[in-house]
């Protein structure tokens, strides 16, 4: 074959690889989703692929409102807890599916020091800690749609400019949240941020999953969980990490082998389980953070065969088994949500990191870019 013919063949092959085949491009649709109490319009963006998977994200809180996944027979169910309209999200401080920040999780006493200056945040967690960014964190604002597109991977990017001093945090923070769905059933969520002053940042997604389907009669306690972590962060009575790392071996926190969530969640012999009312703890993930994505958790439902793998580049994974859902919340399918109806698997930096020098730093300086990438990968088992 002559060189010119070979070059033409290679160009044609590359072009065919780059072009999506008919019916394989993921789609994006947009629709109104109601209004906030102050009258701000909220929009819903749905990403749908050709495999029966779809993700709906709303501009209020850049929130994952729904995640539709097929079971082993192709029957679909929504596996993410949530509400049917914007007003319900505003009424319920549940964080279901929300993008939480400026600092996800807890900061003890709501206080931290940066460059010799102490900052006091709102004590919005039982009066003893700052939680998920404050009284009006990123979960309670309407984000702007910066980009939305269909294609081999459908995606939407949201932006929010948090002004200097908002909720007590220093620096104007330019935050972004991108959701992208491909044909391999990977929903990739990427958080980014830049600042004009030194500050602290720790953003994550607070989706609560039930692989049997949200609102299912048996809840999520029958879901089987695997976490590749040899240690976790014990907490004090205010649910603030002590700063230590405790081996999971021989404890109720050991999910290195697939284990039903319900198996040890009521083990009152472990004081940590009593203080958290179950699982509400940071796991110290095995492997190096800040680089390539690695498995952070695997959650499955044996009956339906639905499997969710969570991949992360972060050092920790907060596992929360819906311990504080008290039966007063009605979800989008008209079912009452109760304790144990969903499981949050939140890749992030460690709670109270600004006050624990032994934890990885959450400081962000001008000229730097904060990033947290997680992948929710959906598969099935036979």
Separation between Cα atoms, residue 162 and residue 175, nearest integer Å: 7
Residue 83 φ/ψ, nearest 5 degrees: -125, 170
Separation between Cα atoms, residue 254 and residue 247, nearest integer Å: 8
Say whether the peptide bond before residue 102 is cis (omega within 30 degrees of 0): yes
The catalytic residue among 206, 214, 281, 309 is 206
Say whether 132 is catalytic: no
Sort strands 129-131 and 106-108 into parallel, antiparallel or unpaired.
antiparallel
Structure tokens at 342: 């969903």
Say whether 346 is catalytic: yes
For the chain, the farthest-separated pair of C-alpha atoms sits apart, in whole angstroms, at 77
- Write the CB contacts of 220 (distance below 8 Å, at least 6 apart in sequence): 208, 209, 210, 211, 212, 261, 321, 322, 340, 341, 342, 343
The catalytic residue among 43, 166, 183, 346 is 346
Contact 308, 225 (CB under 8 A): no
Comparing C-alpha atoms, which of 322, 215, 243 is closest to residue 279?
322
- Write the CB contacts of 142 (distance below 8 Å, at least 6 apart in sequence): 36, 40, 41, 42, 59, 60
**Cα-based torsion angle of the residue sequence 242, 243, 249, 253 in order, rounded to the nearest 10 degrees:** 50
Which residues are known catalytic residues? 206, 346
């Amino acid at each position: 074959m002559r060189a010119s013919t070979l070059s033409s063949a290679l160009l044609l092959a590359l072009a065919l690889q780059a072009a999506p085949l008919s019916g394989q491009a993921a789609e994006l649709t947009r629709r109104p989703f109601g209004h906030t109490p102050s009258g701000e319009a909220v929009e819903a963006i749905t990403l749908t692929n050709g495999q029966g998977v779809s993700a709906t994200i709303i501009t209020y809180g850049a929130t994952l409102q729904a995640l539709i996944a097929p079971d082993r027979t192709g029957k679909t169910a929504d596996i993410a807890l949530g509400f049917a309209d914007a007003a319900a999200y505003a009424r319920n401080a549940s964080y279901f599916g929300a993008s939480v920040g400026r600092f996800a999780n807890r900061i003890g006493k709501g206080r931290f020091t940066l460059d010799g200056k102490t900052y006091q945040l709102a004590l919005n967690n039982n009066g003893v800690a700052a939680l998920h960014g404050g009284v009006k964190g990123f979960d309670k604002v309407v984000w702007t749609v910066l980009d939305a597109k269909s294609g081999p991977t459908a995606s939407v990017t949201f932006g929010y400019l948090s002004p200097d001093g908002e909720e007590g945090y220093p620096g104007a923070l330019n935050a972004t949240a991108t959701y992208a769905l491909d044909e391999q059933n990977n929903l990739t969520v990427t958080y980014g941020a830049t600042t004009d002053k030194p500050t602290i940042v720790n953003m994550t997604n607070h989706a609560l999953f039930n692989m049997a389907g949200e609102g299912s009669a048996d809840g999520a306690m029958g879901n089987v969980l695997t976490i590749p972590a040899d240690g976790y962060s014990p907490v004090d009575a205010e649910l603030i990490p002590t700063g230590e790392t405790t081996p999971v071996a021989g404890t109720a926190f050991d999910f290195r082998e697939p284990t039903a969530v319900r198996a040890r969640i009521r083990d009152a012999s472990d004081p940590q389980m009593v203080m958290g009312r179950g699982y509400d703890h940071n796991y110290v993930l095995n492997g190096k953070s800040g680089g390539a994505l690695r498995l952070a958790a695997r959650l499955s439902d044996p009956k339906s065969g639905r499997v969710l793998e969570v991949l992360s580049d972060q050092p920790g994974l907060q596992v929360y088994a819906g311990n504080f859902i008290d039966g007063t919340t009605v979800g989008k399918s008209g079912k009452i949500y109760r304790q144990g109806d969903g499981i949050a698997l939140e890749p992030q930096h460690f709670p109270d990191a600004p006050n624990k020098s032994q934890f990885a730093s959450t400081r962000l300086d001008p000229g730097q870019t904060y990033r947290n990438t997680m992948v929710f990968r959906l598969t099935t088992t036979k």
